[in-house]
A and B are shown apart, each in its own frame.
Chain A
Amino acid sequence: DAGITQSPRHKVTETGTPVTLRCHQTENHRYMYWYRQDPGHGLRLIHYSYGVKDTDKGEVSDGYSVSRSKTEDFLLTLESATSSQTSVYFCAISELSREQYFGPGTRLTVT
């Protein structure tokens, strides 16, 4: 299995609070991705990174920001959580022209 961990694995937070999710890899892969998974929508890309300090928006980026200060860590921040951001969040990694490997997921509930 690819070395990808996500923390926390579960979180419950209140509307309006900031939340940061962490993805950590030990594979030294260049590309990292954040997805959210919701019933009927499959996985949708939030943000991605193609190198340290190089990030870009995905399909559903509103309300989210990311940072990548070193190869192994990719952080996803919800500046002010809303109930619509209740979801399961997955991190993935890849190298160019190769498949993506996924982390175990973080279940976030915003009350």
Chain B
Amino acid sequence: GNSVTQMEGPVTLSEEAFLTINCTYTATGYPSLFWYVQYPGEGLQLLLKATKADDKGSNKGFEATYRKETTSFHLEKGSVQVSDSAVYFCALSHNNNAGNMLTFGGGTRLMVKP
């Protein structure tokens, strides 16, 4: 079956540090890959996505590249801000009669200190 593994947190960084959150997946076929972000007390928001191999998703300074050869979709940002403190979820999807079924990783909490 499908599964997503992401690095355990919390990840604690100082402001302006470089961020990497690792995500690897197991799936049949060619899933789409997503990063969602959850700010405290809120629901999940789509951060970025990639739908095929070698695609790069980007948004708000975050990037992730769909690497089929390593089955990975690592999230990166060159300079984090305090406002980036949140929980980040990697997810994959496949289409069936349920629309876009998502399988989530366990989430990684990021804490950015001033």
Q: Identify the A interface with B (CB < 8 A).
A: 4, 30-31, 33, 40-45, 48, 50, 56, 90, 92, 94-105
Q: Are A95 and B104 in contact (CB under 8 A)?
A: no
CB distance from B41 to the nearest CB of A (A): 8
Q: Are A96 and B89 in contact (CB under 8 A)?
A: no
24 chain-A/chain-B pairs, Cβ below 8 angstroms: A31-B100, A40-B106, A41-B106, A42-B89, A43-B44, A43-B89, A43-B104, A44-B104, A48-B101, A50-B98, A50-B99, A56-B98, A96-B95, A97-B95, A97-B99, A97-B100, A99-B46, A99-B100, A100-B46, A100-B102, A101-B46, A102-B44, A104-B43, A105-B43
Chain A residues, CB < 8 A from B36: 102
Q: Are B95 and A48 in contact (CB under 8 A)?
A: no
| Given A40-B106, A96-B95, A45:B46 Cβ within 8 A | no
Is B77 in contact with chain A by the CB < 8 A criterion?
no
Interface size of B by CB at 8 A reads 22
Classify the secondary structure of A's interface with B. strand
Chain A residues, CB < 8 A from B104: 42-44
Is B69 in contact with chain A by the CB < 8 A criterion?
no
Classify the secondary structure of B's interface with A. strand
Which chain A residue has the least Cβ–Cβ distance from B90?
A42
Q: Are B95 and A90 in contact (CB under 8 A)?
A: no
CB distance from A55 to the nearest CB of B (A): 10
CB proximity to A under 8 Å, residues B96-113: 97-102, 104-107
Q: Are B98 and A48 in contact (CB under 8 A)?
A: yes
Instruction: Give the 9 A-B CB pairs with smallest separation, nearest first.
Output: A31-B99, A42-B104, A102-B43, A102-B44, A42-B106, A43-B104, A104-B43, A48-B98, A94-B100
State A97–B51 Cα separation when bound (angstroms). Answer: 10
Chain A residues, CB < 8 A from B100: 31, 94, 96-100
Chain A residues, CB < 8 A from B101: 45, 48
